[in-house]
Structure 1
Amino acid sequence: MLELIPEFPAFLLVFARVTSFFLMLPLFSYRTIPAQFKVGLGFFLSILMYFSMDVPVLQIDSNYYLLILKEVLTGILIGLVAFMILSAIQVAGGFIDFQMGFAIANVIDPQTGAQSPLMGQYFYIISLFFLLMVNGHHLILDGIYNSYQFIPLEQGWLPLGNAKIAEYVIRSFSTMFMIALQMSLPVVGSLFLVDVALGILARTFPQLNIFVVGIPVKIGVSFIILLVVMGTMMLAVSKLFETMLTTMRGLMSLFGGL
């Protein structure tokens, strides 16, 4: 019955890519969002995208199943790269937690079910609010729509064996760590100076229990530094959003052979 509808094969490919994006994309992939809502949102977005672009007329044959697999891989891989770039926020929080002494107390992220550092989870929630405030989720959805310009529906397969793709992903991964280090450097550098001062104090007053005094001092200094540099960290987060969108676009270009 569905094969008699000429638009159905192409629409199914669009629907497969959009819903696969939602499996890995930040904010859309959380387990607290009902699956019915994700499928419904993907369905209506697929309808809007299908009727706003030129799609080829496809037939359901043996090659069509490879096209479905290609669409699912496209959505998952590009969403995974976007999630990987945005994970720099939690990595930066992990660096800060290690210096503050909070590294021994991780929390369970209810959104992903994985353990995450305390400050990393705090920064991540603030960054998601910031993403919504600047309409970054609209840019993510716009990236899904523009992906069909780079990777057309009729493209047979993704060039996963291309060495440029592996190099690009590794470079993006290193960029994520560099941004995480830049975000955490003010607090980590300040705490390093506090450690040096506490070491000098311990040598000057041996009777002082530096382990009892040091931890509250480091925690207090950390919160003061965070209040001072929070605006600068949000600038780094906005740069991270730009990097995420640029990385998604570059990976789509490589997948499309451009």
Structure 2
Amino acid sequence: MVDLLPEFPVFLLIFVRVTSFFIMMPIFSYRTIPAPFKIGLGFFLAWIMFYTIDAPVLEINGAYFLLIMKEALVGILIGFIAYLILSAIQIAGGFIDFQMGFAIANVIDPQTGAQSPITGQYFYIVSLLFLLSVNGHHLLIDGIYYSYQFVPIDQAWIPFGKESLVEFVLKAFSTMFMIALQMALPIVGSIFLVDVALGIVARTVPQLNVFVVGLPLKIGVSFIVIVAVMTVMMGVVSQLFEYTLITMRGLMELIGGS
């Protein structure tokens, strides 16, 4: 135990980055996962990474506490950028629900504790199952492991004032909305055509109450289109996972000053 004491500061820094990554990372950050499980998983991952990372010997002093804060921020930023990109799925569901008439029927997500659209929650659960089926969570864990190649453990600062870092985060934020719009466009476009058809019927057949007929008709058409384009949408989701990993890598390169 005494021989491990000089290396304890390095292990603690690794443990801080891994556990802070789990705070924001999709799947592992959910409230339904017990906190002891998250801490235990972070501990054993940090223990494994400790023997594979070539880190210098550090001393516990004033600069060491700055390193702890830096490690926590690095883990949170990497996990946040992954969560931000995958949020496009729920945003797409919000667009669809608004056109379907389900926008008022938001549900509480037990995983995050926030309100989420019904369709978006359905797409998100299916996408997470798809992510787990292709071992995408292993790739996310690889992201935090290979982060030490870009952001060394003894790097004492994060270039928050760097213009390219701010532009990168804003680009990822705008890309998230663009992907959400692409995912929702087939369903939203179909509902728009239904609205146009109902408008024509309302002008040609005034006796028909389109407000009574319109809502169930749009819901039925939406479900049919969702079933028809589900395969294509899962293809977009797979590209979304790939873009998530690329974005994580790009953020780590900017944080590391590459």
2:76 aligns with 76
1:141 aligns with 141
2:233 equivalent to 1:205: no
Structure 2 unaligned segments of length 5 or more: list them.
none
Question: 2: distance between equivalents of 1:73 and 1:126?
Answer: 30
Question: 2: distance between equivalents of 1:2 and 1:220?
Answer: 68
Please give the secondary structure, in 2, of the residue aligned with 1:59. Answer: coil
2:42 aligns with 42
- The percent identity for this pair of structures is 70
Letter in 2 for 1:19: T
Q: Deviations over 1:15-70 (max 9, x none)?
A: 00000000000000000100000000000000011111211111111100000000
- The number of residues matched between the two structures is 258
Q: Deviations over 1:181-202 (max 9, x none)?
A: 1100000001100000000011
1:164 aligns with 164
Task: Indicate how the Cα distance of structure 1 residues 226 and 195 shifts in structure 2: closer, same or farther if over 3 A, else same.
Answer: same
Question: 2: distance between equivalents of 1:214 and 1:191?
Answer: 10
Which residues of 2 match residues 59-208 of structure 1 at below 5 A?
Answer: 59-208=59-208
Task: Indicate how the Cα distance of structure 1 residues 163 and 220 shifts in structure 2: closer, same or farther if over 3 A, else same.
Answer: same
Deviation at residue 2 of structure 1 after TM alignment:
7.9
Please give the secondary structure, in 2, of the residue aligned with 1:33. Answer: coil
Task: Indicate how the Cα distance of structure 1 residues 164 and 3 shifts in structure 2: closer, same or farther if over 3 A, else same.
Answer: farther
Letter in 2 for 1:213: V
Please give the secondary structure, in 1, of the residue aligned with 2:6. Answer: coil
Letter in 2 for 1:190: S
Please give the secondary structure, in 2, of the residue aligned with 1:103. Answer: coil
Letter in 2 for 1:225: V
1:5 aligns with 5
Q: Which structure 1 residue ranges, 4+ long, deviate > 4 Å from structure 2?
A: 1-4
Residues 16, 72 of structure 1: 8 Å contact kept: yes
Question: 2: distance between equivalents of 1:85 and 1:114?
Answer: 17
Question: 2: distance between equivalents of 1:183 and 1:2?
Answer: 56
Letter in 2 for 1:39: I
Deviation at residue 3 of structure 1 after TM alignment:
10
TM-score normalised by the chain length of structure 2: 0.98
Root mean square deviation of aligned Cα: 1.2
Question: 2: distance between equivalents of 1:51 and 1:2?
Answer: 17
Residues 2, 8 of structure 1: 8 Å contact kept: no
Question: 2: distance between equivalents of 1:55 and 1:165?
Answer: 25
Task: Indicate how the Cα distance of structure 1 residues 232 and 216 shifts in structure 2: closer, same or farther if over 3 A, else same.
Answer: same
2:239 equivalent to 1:257: no
Please give the secondary structure, in 1, of the residue aligned with 2:158. Answer: coil
Residues 67, 154 of structure 1: 8 Å contact kept: yes
Question: 2: distance between equivalents of 1:2 and 1:205?
Answer: 88
Question: 1: distance between equivalents of 2:214 and 2:34?
Answer: 45
Structure 1 unaligned segments of length 5 or more: list them.
none
Question: 2: distance between equivalents of 1:235 and 1:180?
Answer: 13
Letter in 1 for 2:213: V
Letter in 2 for 1:228: A
Q: Deviations over 1:201-254 (max 9, x none)?
A: 111110111000000100000000011000000001011111111111000000
Q: Deviations over 1:136-195 (max 9, x none)?
A: 000000001000000000101111110111100000111111110110000000110000
